[in-house]
Amino acid sequence: MDTLALLGGKKTINHAFKKYNSIGKEEVEAAKKVIESGVLSDFLGSWGDRFYGGENIQLFEKNWKEYFKVKNAITVNSNTSGLIAAVGAIGLEPGDEVILPPWTMSATATAVVIWGGIPVFADIDPRKFTISVESIRKNITKKTKAIIAVDILGQACNLEEIMKIAKENNLYVIEDAAQAPGVKYKDEFIGAVADIGVYSLNYHKHINTGEGGVCVTNNDKLAQRMRLIRNHGEVVVGQNGEQDIVNIIGYNFRMTEVEAAIGIEQLKKLESLIPPRVAVAQRLTEGLSGLKGLLVPEVEKYSEHCYYMYPLVFETKELGLSRAKILEALAAEGIQGIRGGYVNVHLQPMYQKKIAFGKGGFPWSYEHSRKDVSYAKGICPDAERLHEEDFVTVEFCNYEYSMADADLIIQAFKKVWANLDKLK
Ligand SMILES: *Cc1c(COP(=O)(O)O)cnc(C)c1O
């Protein structure tokens, strides 16, 4: 057997993998046209036609809602802004609780805190990494108002069960679909399944506008509330006679005309960007199946997977080696874009110290907030253990791996696995 590169042998992979880039000449042309027109944004923060943005914004939203087969699409300047608009739109009150997983981007939880809400973290499914339905059930209290289901790594959560729990308990469901554009659950695009779905268009997502996001909903009232929050709604409600002004504290979450024009071109490409990535993922799964102590991805029932990242689990106890050591050996073979762990948002200092607004600890210290909400280490044992010990991703969001790259990655894994005892 060949000597591991880490121990002085030859590397398996000797070329740099291609960086992922979804932007082409169509986007350049579209952006140029807008810039030449001189109208880089056409929003007005007062009531009237332009309250809903200019030509490109309105066309992008029309195309988005047609593509995703949903009644309303509301562009915003990021998924973070979209989540803030979504949580505001459902009428969250200070002290209300929102259940969400710890494996997500920090913004999913801060969108709750911004409105004085209390994030409550439910554990993840140890094989699919999506929020655990069982853990959601355990974390429901009288204060629970919503669930944020994060379609982590590129697949849907167990939406069938989550929507059932929501119905039984009268909760809203917001889907953070940042990592899973174009993925279907049963026959519907995710995002449209829940009350509100929020997509990201930041630069490392499948399609991007640099920064950007889109909220989708079939509920016209929630859509209008998100449009108000997007565009200085508190000054607009007096002009258009809006009655329900709870949480209509307007921000400026507007996307520019340039980004919308780029987005129109990017959306056309989404359909063709996903299948090659899925094919590479399937190749990896076939090639890596059967290696002892290595678990390949399991996909949620009824869901597709678009592989924002490709997840693996190293059963480090069984292997008798640390993840770091195995990763070191794989990286030495020349694999790029492979790393261990995922964030656990509940362990961030803001939650550990329960300090957000001011020194007094609002919203946790607020009189209507439940005082025994815990962010202690141990509340999400599977998420914590996987982060610390066993979880690994291949960064499909940063590299455009070819089938030949996949074959080399498989070869490198097999070589390392055949030599594991030499790493001890
Ligand atoms: C990328 C991402 C976000 C944030 O998106 P932005 O558009 O950068 O604000 C939120 N949640 C998840 C799960 C993400 O992957």
- Residue 61's SS3 state is helix
- Say how many residues make up the chain: 424
Measure 192 CA to ligand 1 centroid, in angstroms.
18
Positive or negative torsion for Cα 14, 402, 150, 311: negative
Identify the pLDDT of residue 240.
Answer: 87
Q: List, in order, residues 6 or more apart from 128 with CB less than 8 Å away.
A: 155, 297, 298, 299, 300
Using an 8 Å Cβ cutoff, are 186 and 302 in contact? yes
Identify the pLDDT of residue 232.
Answer: 96
- The pLDDT tens digits of the residues spanning 257-281 come to 999 999 999 999 999 999 999 999 9
Local structure of residue 187 (DSSP, 8 states): T
- Residue with the smallest CA separation from ligand 1 atom 1 is 178
Local structure of residue 12 (DSSP, 8 states): S
Q: Please, what is the Cα angle at 360 between 374 and 118, to 5 degrees?
A: 35
Instruction: Work out which ligand 1 atom sits closest to the CA atom of 83.
Output: 10
| Ligand 1 pocket test, candidate residues 151, 153, 179, 190, most atoms within 8 A of CB | 179
- How far apart are the C-alpha atoms of 98 and 93, rounded to whole Å? 11
- The pLDDT tens digits of the residues spanning 377-399 come to 999 999 999 999 999 999 999 99
Q: List, in order, residues 6 or more apart from 141 with CB less than 8 Å away.
A: 97, 120, 370
- Residue with the smallest CA separation from ligand 1 atom 11 is 105
| Ligand 1 pocket test, candidate residues 105, 396, 397, most atoms within 8 A of CB | 105
Local structure of residue 73 (DSSP, 8 states): E
Local structure of residue 124 (DSSP, 8 states): B
Helix (H) or strand (E) holding 259: helix 257-288
Measure 146 CA to ligand 1 centroid, in angstroms.
19
Instruction: Work out which ligand 1 atom sits closest to the CA atom of 78.
Output: 7
- The pLDDT tens digits of the residues spanning 138-195 come to 999 999 999 999 999 999 999 999 999 999 999 999 999 999 999 999 999 998 999 9
- How far apart are the C-alpha atoms of 61 and 126, rounded to whole Å? 36
pTM comes to: 0.97
Task: List all residues whose CB is within 6 A of at least one atom of ligand 1.
Answer: 78-80, 104-105, 107-108, 150, 176, 178-179, 200, 202, 213
Q: What is the pLDDT along the chain (424 residues), one digit of tens a residue?
A: 689 999 999 999 999 999 999 999 999 999 999 999 999 999 999 999 999 999 999 999 999 999 999 999 999 999 999 999 999 999 999 999 999 999 999 999 999 999 999 999 999 999 999 999 999 999 999 999 999 999 999 999 999 999 999 999 999 999 999 999 999 999 999 989 999 999 999 999 999 999 999 999 999 999 999 999 999 999 999 998 899 999 999 999 999 999 999 999 999 999 999 999 999 999 999 999 999 999 999 999 999 999 999 999 999 999 999 999 999 999 999 999 999 999 999 999 999 999 999 999 999 999 999 999 999 999 999 999 999 999 999 999 999 999 999 999 999 999 999 999 999 9
Measure 176 CA to ligand 1 centroid, in angstroms.
8
Measure 80 CA to ligand 1 centroid, in angstroms.
6
Q: List, in order, residues 6 or more apart from 390 with CB less than 8 Å away.
A: 313, 314, 315, 316, 323
Measure 307 CA to ligand 1 centroid, in angstroms.
15
Using an 8 Å Cβ cutoff, are 147 and 175 in contact? no
Q: Looking at this protein, which amino acid is placed at residue 143?
A: K
**What is the token pair recorded at 175?**
């889907």
Identify the pLDDT of residue 99.
Answer: 98
Identify the pLDDT of residue 132.
Answer: 98
- How far apart are the C-alpha atoms of 104 and 112, rounded to whole Å? 13
Measure 7 CA to ligand 1 centroid, in angstroms.
39
- How far apart are the C-alpha atoms of 423 and 320, rounded to whole Å? 10
Measure 51 CA to ligand 1 centroid, in angstroms.
26
Helix (H) or strand (E) holding 58: helix 55-67
